Amino acid sequence: MAQTLPHLITETAVLSAAGAGLRHYTLGPALIAAGTDATVVILIPGDDPETGVQNSSRILLCGEKVPDLRSRLGSCDGPPTQLFARLEQGYLPLGTALRRGTTWGCDGFDQIELEFDQPLSRAALDAVRPVQAIGPVPGVDWVDQVESDPIRALESFALGWFPADQVEASGNDGAGAQGDLPEALAAFHRLARLRPALREFHDPVLEQPEPASGPLGDRLVFARWAQGYRDWSIPWPSREQDGSDPVVWQTEDPQSAAYQETTVEHEPLSRFLLKFTLFEAMIAAPYHAWTYRLPAASLNPLLSTLRSVPLSPFLPAHDAARFFVAPGLITAVSTDGTDAGISFAALHRGTLTALLDYGFRWFRFDG
């Protein structure tokens, strides 16, 4: 049965919900009326991954700092926060919400995350965050090169997936005082000058690799888990038997002499960098969807429409995620053969919306 929108109301009715003593504010495109009875937030419909309704449960408000609002929005001790969307025909009630997080940035902006007490219906979500037509999306022909030329596959993926909005004028290949790096790592740094988003990973590839020691010998750290609990390195100085594509070492607790443990990754450096980039691209993508655990067999209809990336699982001792791709979509599947968890990252919201046809139970769904 098709869902219908709740009854639309007038601006007067919206503002009256705030009660007496109204004070008016703006936070980015959102209009806020704070009164004795409630904090009313009026949202403008739109599809922006940085502000407004993000999915059926989550709202982001971003704009110049408004100190008065920090103590009001979503406070358990203060008046409730009521949200409305301003449509052409009237105002759509969206329900109440609580604050889940606040970020005060050094650039003078504030971002507040709210969560609806009751998730929006699909009809209400489509009204306040209309699904836009899917624009151009990168293809997946690069998968054909993974086994024969993983460096070229990485270049093709990154050039298509990440924006070309800025290019570094100059720079080295990350070698610095370390001498010549393996071609795969040097190629990654050359690529990062064309796609600076590669330097902004949640878990950075170091612009200047760092010498270190470890249980397996001297090494050169080239990437680090952001929290410092894990890093990746190659044997250093390079060993002739590794050729131009050395093995990769993963080190857990690198700062702890007592618990430090180093294991050998399944993939050599060139293929590991592609796998690492796919993982980080998922984190950085503007739209996400995550399922609850579900029977592994129920994924077969979906996976038959995706291309499997011929790489070993990422973080095999943890999630052991295997990657699948479609134009504009990266999918990670973790399974023990019986049940599975699956996550998606997309460049366009409409790419995720099509996944509703599979009937999955969603923990988060930005489509």
Length of the chain equals 367
Tens digits of residue pLDDT in 7-27: 899 999 999 999 999 999 988
pLDDT band, very low/low/confident/very high, at 177 (cuts 50, 70, 90): very low
Q: Are 178 and 207 in contact (CB under 8 A)?
A: no
Give me the pLDDT at residue 74, please: 55
The domains located in the chain, with CATH, are: 11-128 (2.30.280), 162-277 (no CATH), 285-365 (3.30.310)
pLDDT band, very low/low/confident/very high, at 265 (cuts 50, 70, 90): very high
User: Does residue 28 have a pLDDT over 60?
Assistant: yes
Q: Comparing 42-46, 49-53, 183-187, 282-286, which segment has the lowest mean pLDDT?
A: 49-53
Instruction: Quote the distance between the C-alpha of residue 24 and its chain's center.
Output: 33
Whole-model pTM: value is 0.83
